[in-house]
């Protein structure tokens, strides 16, 4: 059975050559992340992912989380793995030192989280949600709330959740009806039900800190009337220990297509008199605060797309090396060969590899921009990096998760009929990945956010800036006489032109015909993802070719050039069709009357 192996070599290359690690570690507050520290962290994370989390993945999927009498029991080995995870400091990696964290940059947290997600997707969701809750509290909580909850959450002793969705309120947050009634002691009594709550109940930690969206009695209608509350599973004693049981209960867990070892809870608040809650920040600003968590979670879910690309690729590659079937194409009567020799299998494996590497590079570059937006001493550079990160988050989330599903599906195809059988493990990747394009905002929501808030609102200024950075590569490409870089240049130039054409059309037409623009939103996000991924692969090819020209014999570099060439020929070549769909495709979307469907 194929086990996960962390792609440390590619991670290091992307961190150092594309994502600007050297610059990030010089930022105020990031100095601890020296090259030696980064390499050591990656090596230790790889050991944990490969040796602890990966071996639990298939068994966790088969066993699943068990619900009984309001309690959830995790699959065998998960509780011990989580204890080791927390004791090793992994929950504290990117958290503020003030609360016991290690304060390492997001750029280092990105590859580490990728390892957790590749090795054991279901396990990784618990620290993902806790990290988002920590970030919301750090930025919006009172000193009392921070002192009460943060240290235990950062240490991993307590975990966190996001409680947003209700039976009658999915993506339409204005429809939320959970209510919070103020009490004389400045607490609130919370009443309502939430669904799809990841790790809403489990036995990994001694307390669970729920962040819950609810309305106060005087709240206005719509999203402007929603507040955010902390509702702990157990109340907290004066000495910081868990106290009495709060009126927040898991009433069931969902039976899902995948991520079986991640309990998705239905939570009931206030069925026994009211769950005690604490207001986070100010009343009626809950959506603003929740989006702090949401943006962190959206990047994290995008990393799930990267991670499943890598994991599905590794499993398919290993199978293709071992599976002997057929002779070499064009050879009659020859010896049987591993299927990796067959051109179509090679094509599938290269598509998986190229998309894994491109999505990784894009995500890490965005993580580096996030660090610069937070820590750079130059105000203008902070603004520029924040604008870039804001623009790219929906692309990282939407494109990476969409290709994650496709790559996982391709992995099954490489296995042939055995891929459809559970014992190979290939089908689990597809089942686990399928939710990633839905939660934390569907691909359609990401795409509408991209073309509306992120492009139309600033008149396309940030998009034009990014396209300018893409086009700036042309001078370096033009100096290369290399066959592969010349081919990449041709494809990349054409793809950037198509991105610009579609982007300008959307900006010009968004206000005039928002329905037509929205009909092309997801194709545009796909186009943007492909071109942005191609941008990073083109940069990678330039660096790799320079290493080769300088006499470096590491086989990593020619492989990187060829992978970038494949990405250009097979993915960047799709740009013209996608741009035409964005600009001309709305009629076919909107013309039928509802009764004609």
How far is the CA of 344 from the CAs of 320, 328, 341, in angstroms?
A: 11, 12, 9
The two beta strands, 188-198 and 264-269, are: antiparallel
**Per annotation, catalytic residue among 304, 357, 440, 498:** 440
Tokens 């009931």 found at: 268
Got the DSSP string for 369-436? HHHHHHH-S-HHHHHHHHHHHHHHHHHHHHHHHHHHHHHHHHHHHHHGGGGGSGGGSHHHHHHHHGGG
Contacts of 107 (CB under 8 A, 6+ apart): 15, 19, 20, 21, 24, 33, 364, 367, 368, 370, 371
Kindly give the pairing relationship between strand 275-279 and strand 188-198: antiparallel
Helix (H) or strand (E) holding 213: strand 207-214
594: CB partners within 8 A, 6+ apart: none
Most distant CA pair in the chain: distance in Å? 87
Is residue 440 annotated as a catalytic residue, yes or no? yes
Written as six digits, the tokens of 362 are 């894009």
Contact 323, 338 (CB under 8 A): yes
What's the sign of the alpha-carbon dihedral 454, 458, 459, 460? negative
* CA distances (Å), origin 295, targets 174, 204, 279: 19, 25, 21
DSSP structure class, residue 456: I
- CA pair distance 316, 408, nearest whole angstrom: 9
Tell me, rounded to whole angstroms, the distance of Cα 138 from its chain centroid: 21
Paired tokens of 582 = 């964005």
- Active-site residues: which are they? 440
């Amino acid at each position: 059975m194929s086990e996960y192996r962390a792609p440390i070599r590619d991670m290091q290359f992307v961190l150092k050559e594309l994502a600007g690690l050297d610059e990030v570690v010089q930022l105020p507050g990031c100095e601890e992340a020296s090259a030696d520290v980064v390499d050591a962290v990656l090596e230790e994370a790889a050991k944990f992912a490969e040796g602890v989390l990966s071996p639990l993945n298939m068994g966790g999927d088969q066993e699943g989380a068990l619900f009984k009498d309001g309690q959830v029991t995790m699959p065998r080995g998960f509780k011990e793995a989580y204890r080791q995870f927390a004791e090793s400091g992994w929950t504290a990696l990117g958290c503020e030192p003030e609360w016991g964290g290690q304060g390492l940059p997001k750029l280092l947290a990105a590859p580490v989280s990728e390892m957790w997600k590749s090795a054991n997707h279901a396990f990784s969701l618990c620290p993902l949600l806790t990290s988002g809750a920590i970030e919301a509290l750090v930025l919006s909580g009172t000193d009392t709330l921070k002192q009460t909850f943060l240290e235990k959450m950062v240490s991993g002793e307590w975990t966190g959740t996001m409680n947003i969705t209700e039976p009658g309120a999915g993506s339409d947050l204005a429809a939320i009806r959970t209510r919070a009634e103020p009490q004389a002691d400045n607490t609130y009594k919370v009443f309502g039900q939430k669904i799809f709550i990841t790790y809403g109940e489990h036995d990994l930690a001694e307390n669970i800190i729920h962040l819950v969206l609810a309305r106060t009695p005087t709240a206005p209608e719509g999203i402007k009337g929603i507040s955010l509350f902390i509702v702990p599973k157990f109340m907290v004693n004066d000495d910081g220990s868990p106290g009495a049981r709060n009126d927040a209960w898991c009433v069931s867990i969902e039976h899902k297509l995948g991520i079986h070892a991640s309990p998705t809870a239905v939570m009931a608040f206030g069925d026994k008199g009211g769950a005690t809650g604490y207001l986070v920040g100010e009343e009626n600003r809950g959506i603003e605060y929740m989006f702090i968590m949401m943006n962190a979670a959206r990047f994290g879910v995008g990393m799930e797309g990267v991670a499943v690309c890598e994991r599905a690729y590794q499993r398919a590659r290993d199978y293709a090396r071992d599976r002997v079937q057929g002779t070499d194409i064009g050879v009659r009567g020859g010896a049987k060969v591993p299927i990796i020799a067959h051109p179509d299998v090679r094509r599938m494996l290269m598509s998986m590899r190229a998309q894994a590497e491109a999505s990784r590079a894009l995500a890490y570059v965005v993580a580096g921009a996030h660090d610069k937006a937070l820590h750079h001493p130059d105000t203008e550079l902070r603004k520029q990096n924040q604008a870039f990160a804001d623009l790219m988050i929906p692309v990282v989330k939407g494109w990476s998760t969409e290709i994650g599903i496709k790559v996982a599906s391709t992995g099954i195809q490489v296995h042939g009929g055995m891929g459809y059988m559970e014992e190979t493990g290939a089908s689990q990747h597809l089942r686990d990945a399928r939710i990633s394009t839905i939660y934390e905002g569907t691909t359609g929501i990401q795409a509408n956010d991209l073309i509306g808030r992120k492009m139309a609102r600033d008149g396309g200024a940030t998009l034009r800036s990014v396209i300018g950075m893409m086009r700036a590569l042309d001078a370096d490409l033009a100096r290369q006489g290399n066959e592969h870089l010349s081919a990449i240049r041709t494809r990349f130039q054409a793809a950037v032109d198509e991105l610009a054409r579609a982007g300008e059309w959307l900006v010009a037409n968004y206000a005039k015909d928002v329905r037509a623009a929205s009909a092309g939103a997801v194709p545009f996000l796909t186009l943007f993802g492909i071109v942005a991924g191609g941008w990073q692969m083109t940069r990678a090819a330039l660096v790799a070719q320079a290493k080769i020209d300088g006499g470096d014999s590491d086989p990593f570099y020619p492989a990187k050039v060829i992978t970038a060439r494949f990405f250009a020929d097979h993915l960047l070549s799709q740009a013209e069709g996608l741009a035409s769909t964005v600009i001309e495709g709305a009629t076919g979307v909107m013309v039928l009357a509802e009764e004609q469907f």
